Amino acid sequence: MHIVVVGGGVVGMTTAYELNRRGHKVTVLERHSIAGNETSKGNAAQRSYGVVYPWADPAMVFKALPWLFKQDGPLKLRVPPSVETLRFMFATLRYAWSPGLFGLNRRAMLRLGIHSRERFLTLEKELGLAFDGAHQGLLHLASTPEALEGYRATHDLLNELGIPSRLLTPEQVREAEPGMLGNGPLYGALSYDTDGTGDCHQFSRELAKACEEHGVVVRYNVDAEKLIADEHKVSAITVRPVDGVMEALEADAFVISAGCWSSHLLRPLGLELPIYPVKGYSLTVAMKNSERGPASTIHDDNYKVVSTRLGNRLRATGFVELADFNRDIPEVRLATIRKSVESRFPGCANLDEAEAWTGFRPMTPDGPAIIGRGPRDNLYLNTGHGTFGWTLSAGSADVIARVIEGEEPIICLDAFRPGRFQE
Ligand SMILES: Cc1cc2nc3c(=O)[nH]c(=O)nc-3n(C[C@H](O)[C@H](O)[C@H](O)COP(=O)(O)OP(=O)(O)OC[C@H]3O[C@@H](n4cnc5c(N)ncnc54)[C@H](O)[C@@H]3O)c2cc1C
């Protein structure tokens, strides 16, 4: 089959890779001049298979509301909120209070996480890509005794699902992360032993190159504008090159992996996808004292900031901001990220020299991504991965390739079904 994939982020590129290795002719359409240049560019770099969870969690709602009013709080809301922001917030609250839904969705996401880890290991062995990738574990620090207590339930759930994790004392945390010499409060940590890290942007670009070497056509600088369809099938997609004439590209099947920009392609076909762009920020800098930086990756629960090693670089990331597609980078946000890093890894890097970035998590209000057949027979969706798209990309790509080929899905896809927001 000839299959068109819309979007050359990490999800689109892993999808192209899986379809190509199954013998399909694949064309990727990407608006930017390189792969992975939107949300996949500056994320927290965690491949956090054991962490994945929906934000639509009643406990989280109670915890998150006070954060809105704290100067350094991780949750920010642009005032006045737009209609889209309010719609997203109310939908999230509604899903949070659907009895039993959080638990079901969390388990579904964790199962996809387990599968994704396996697919990453295979892909890395097959292609040998250079992206500062590693699987050396991930720590969720506990800066209060209550936080450590709260990790026990997660530890039990991971045990039940066969995902290796450990509760660590402060001494064990310092053994695992010897560069953590700061005076930030520390009562222990939950260690996700088999989780990993890696530069998602570098990975996406390297994977695009490898895909092209294997025959995938990646068309950069083109806008995919409209799906041309009757009531059963999509026959073509209109493509507008930045400096060229619009054309209709025909194919046998189409996969939409356009992240936060997926909805407008599907709306004319009657499918409304409530994907909302949840903003975050990151700083990336070469470390001057690499041994005083993170050994792998930590989530500092004090400021909700993630610090990750990428080779000799440090990536520090934070904030959940509801501000639509606003791309401003206020200094006050970066100052909080710097403060968190200094409280854990003082002197490891000169953060004033760091490259600042902002991007948008393609969030669904209930949490799971949208994976499966769309509103026409040959139209498929692999999008809406929210805060865990890097982590879940390799697994989701394999899953959607199986759906397209009519194989038994390797995990239950109920939680990810595209039509669920209209039921
Ligand atoms: C601050 C922050 C921290 C994060 N940390 C992590 C983390 O540690 N671990 C993790 O797993 N995830 C993390 N994420 C989430 C992760 O980055 C995303 O889920 C993931 O990058 C989404 O990938 P994607 O390919 O779906 O979207 P994108 O990377 O946004 O790719 C979509 C692509 O589609 C293209 N496109 C869209 N519309 C069109 C069109 N009409 N025509 C042509 N091209 C089009 C865009 O140009 C873009 O390149 C984080 C996100 C943020 C913002």
Q: What is the pLDDT along the chain (423 residues), one digit of tens a residue?
A: 999 999 999 999 999 999 999 999 999 999 999 999 999 999 999 999 999 999 999 888 888 888 888 878 999 999 999 999 999 999 999 999 999 999 999 999 999 999 999 999 999 999 999 999 999 999 999 999 999 999 999 999 999 999 999 999 999 999 999 999 999 999 999 999 999 999 999 999 999 999 999 999 999 999 999 999 999 999 999 999 988 899 999 999 999 999 999 999 999 999 999 999 999 999 999 999 999 999 999 999 999 999 999 999 999 999 999 999 999 999 999 999 999 999 999 999 999 999 999 999 999 999 999 999 999 999 999 999 999 999 999 999 999 999 999 998 899 999 999 999 998
Q: Which atom of ligand 1 is nearest to the CA of 390?
A: 11
Task: Tell which CATH classification among 3.40.1440.10, 3.30.1280.10, 3.30.9.10, 3.40.50.150 matches the domain 53-97+133-194+276-363.
Answer: 3.30.9.10
In contact, 361 and 383? CB cutoff 8 Å:
no
> Look-up: residue for tokens 């060229």?
244
Alpha carbon nearest to ligand 1 atom 26, residue? 259
Q: Which residues contact 67 (CB under 8 A, 6 or more apart)?
A: 73, 74, 75
Predicted local confidence at residue 243, as pLDDT? 83
Predicted local confidence at residue 308, as pLDDT? 98
**CB of residue 40 inside a 6 A radius of ligand 1:** yes
According to DSSP, the residues that pair with 229 across neighbouring strands are: 234
Q: Which atom of ligand 1 is nearest to the CA of 280?
A: 1
**CB of residue 280 inside a 6 A radius of ligand 1:** yes
Predicted local confidence at residue 408, as pLDDT? 87
**CB of residue 389 inside a 6 A radius of ligand 1:** yes
What span, in angstroms and rounded, lies between the C-alpha atoms of 260 and 364? Answer: 10
In contact, 381 and 306? CB cutoff 8 Å:
no
Q: Which of 379, 421, 423 is nearest to 400 (CA)?
A: 379
Our mutation pick for probing the ligand 1 site, out of 227, 390, 393, counting the most ligand atoms within 8 A of Cβ, is 390
- Where in the chain are the domains? 2-40+202-274+367-422, 53-97+133-194+276-363
Alpha carbon nearest to ligand 1 atom 1, residue? 280
Our mutation pick for probing the ligand 1 site, out of 5, 140, 326, 361, counting the most ligand atoms within 8 A of Cβ, is 361
What span, in angstroms and rounded, lies between the C-alpha atoms of 283 and 126? Answer: 31
Q: Tokens for 91?
A: 């939908």
Sequence length of the chain is 423
Å from CA of 205 to ligand 1 middle:
13
**CB of residue 50 inside a 6 A radius of ligand 1:** no
What is the residue-wise DSSP string for 240-295? EETTS--EEEE-SEEEE--GGG-HHHHGGGT-----EEEEEEEEEEE-SSGGGS-S
C-alpha dist (Å) from residue 19 to 24, 79, 116, 222: 6, 43, 16, 21
Q: Which CATH superfamily is domain 2-40+202-274+367-422 in?
A: FAD/NAD(P)-binding domain (3.50.50.60)
Q: Is the peptide bond before 80 cis (omega within 30 degrees of 0)?
A: yes
Predicted local confidence at residue 87, as pLDDT? 97
Predicted local confidence at residue 372, as pLDDT? 98
* Alpha helix stretches (DSSP H) within 22-98: 58-67, 83-96
**CB of residue 298 inside a 6 A radius of ligand 1:** no
Predicted local confidence at residue 244, as pLDDT? 85
Å from CA of 39 to ligand 1 middle:
3
**CB of residue 29 inside a 6 A radius of ligand 1:** yes
**CB of residue 10 inside a 6 A radius of ligand 1:** yes
Q: Which residues contact 123 (CB under 8 A, 6 or more apart)?
A: 14, 17, 129, 394
